[in-house]
């Protein structure tokens, strides 16, 4: 049986139908602005309906519809907010139920990086003790311990993006705090460092300059990697995780970040914690989409 999946990203939306083995049988990908929340959710559902039509089924034929949310959520209905998307608190089901025409029991929600971790657990053979970190519009995180996702008391466990990594010259984060990882090592943070250094490029353009040997771009990527290593080391000292999986658009340049990530991690983590592997997810861009489907496993 097929499951409907919506990967609601901060800059792009992917929808698809996923079979029981984790194969995506139809998909749509679009850039959808987050400024209009109702319009954002309407477009997500429209894209999913296009997938349903392409597969020759109906929404009622699906096992259910899972959606990964680019922000903190209670996993049932409410989105508490999303710094990267610019969202405050709202009810997601009040939007999705009438748009989909399905009972609320057939719709499930999860934080997007929690969804990535569930996909790693269900489809990626990720092991039973790992963390998942994204480097994209924001820096989201998730924790799996003893084979279970750690959600926390208010369903906001694993928010790695808001670990404080800079105190001397902290930047303002979308959450309202200063010095968060997301304010110093996300895609927009790398782009800001480029502008401050006189480079008119985004994170992807900065990576191209690094590969071309530009010393300024190399220093910027090294600094971002340092912040990522600092955050992961703090978490490793608490959890002693086996692996750290890294995803998101900027992770395509992980080879450029990894030297400074590893150097900082090995310096700041306890000896036993340093044994952790740090690698890019094997699920690629499908991680959050597969995670939305995995909500029905």
- Rounded-to-integer distance, Cα 288 and Cα 297, Å: 15
The 3-state DSSP class for residue 268 equals helix
Please state, as a whole number, how many other Cβ atoms lie within 10 Å of the Cβ of residue 142.
29
The DSSP code for 33 is -
Strands of 130-134's sheet in order across: 148-149, 141-145, 130-134, 243-247, 277-280
Are 3-117+286-294 and 126-281 equal in CATH topology? yes
Whether 100 shows a pLDDT value over 80: the answer reads: yes
For 22-80, how does the pLDDT look when each residue is reduced to its tens digit (9 = 90+)?
999 999 999 999 889 999 999 999 999 999 999 999 999 999 999 999 888 888 899 98
Spell out the domain ranges in the chain: 3-117+286-294, 126-281
Weakest-pLDDT range from 85-89, 198-202, 228-232, 290-294: 85-89
The fold of 3-117+286-294 is Nucleotidyltransferase; domain 5 (3.30.420)
Q: What is the pLDDT of residue 66?
A: 97
Q: Are 250 and 227 in contact (CB under 8 A)?
A: no
Model-level pTM?
0.88
Q: What is the pLDDT of residue 168?
A: 97
Give the whole-angstrom CA distance, residue 160 versus residue 185.
11
Two tokens, residue 6: 């919506």
Cβ atoms < 10 Å from Cβ of 138: 33
Sheet holding 90-91, edge to edge: 72-73, 78-81, 90-91
**Would you say 206 and 242 are in contact if contact means Cβ atoms under 8 Å apart?**
no
* Exposure string for 115-127, b = 16+ CB within 10 A, e = fewer: bbbbbbbbbbebe
**DSSP-based three-state secondary structure for 230:** helix
Q: Which residues pair with 69 in a beta bridge?
A: 111
| Pairing of β 107-111 and β 24-31 | unpaired
Q: What is the pLDDT confidence band of residue 12, given thresholds at 50, 70 and 90? A: confident
Strand, helix or coil for residue 239? helix
Domain made up of 126-281: CATH architecture: 2-Layer Sandwich (3.30)
| SS3 category, 191 | helix
At 279, the pLDDT band (50, 70, 90 cuts) reads very high
């Amino acid at each position: 049986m097929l499951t409907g999946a919506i990967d609601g990203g901060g800059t792009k939306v992917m929808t698809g139908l996923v079979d029981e083995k984790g194969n995506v049988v139809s998909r749509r990908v679009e850039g959808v602005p987050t400024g209009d929340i109702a319009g954002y959710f309407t477009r997500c559902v429209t894209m999913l309906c296009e997938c349903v039509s392409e597969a020759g089924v109906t929404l009622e034929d699906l096992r259910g519809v899972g959606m990964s949310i680019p922000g903190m959520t209670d996993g049932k209905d409410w989105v508490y907010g999303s710094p990267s998307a610019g969202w405050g608190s709202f009810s997601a089901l009040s939007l999705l139920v009438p748009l989909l025409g399905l009972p609320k029991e057939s719709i499930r929600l999860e934080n997007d990086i929690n969804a990535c971790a569930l996909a790693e657990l269900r489809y990626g053979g990720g092991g039973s003790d790992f963390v998942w970190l994204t480097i994209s519009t924001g820096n989201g995180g998730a924790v799996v311990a003893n084979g279970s996702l750690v959600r926390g008391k208010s369903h906001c466990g694993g928010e790695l993006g808001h670990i404080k990594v800079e105190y001397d010259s902290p930047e303002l984060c979308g959450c309202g705090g200063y010095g968060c990882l997301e304010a110093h090592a996300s895609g927009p943070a790398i782009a800001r460092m480029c502008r401050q250094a006189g480079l008119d490029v985004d994170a992807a353009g900065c990576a191209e300059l690094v590969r071309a040997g530009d010393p300024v771009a190399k220093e910027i990527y090294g600094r971002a990697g340092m912040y990522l290593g600092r955050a992961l080391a703090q978490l490793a000292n608490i959890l002693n995780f086996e692996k750290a999986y890294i995803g998101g658009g900027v992770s395509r340049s992980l080879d450029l970040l990894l030297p400074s990530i590893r150097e900082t991690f090995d310096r700041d983590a306890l000896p036993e914690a340093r044994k952790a592997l740090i690698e890019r997810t094997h699920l690629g861009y499908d991680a959050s989409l597969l995670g939305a489907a995995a909500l029905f496993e």
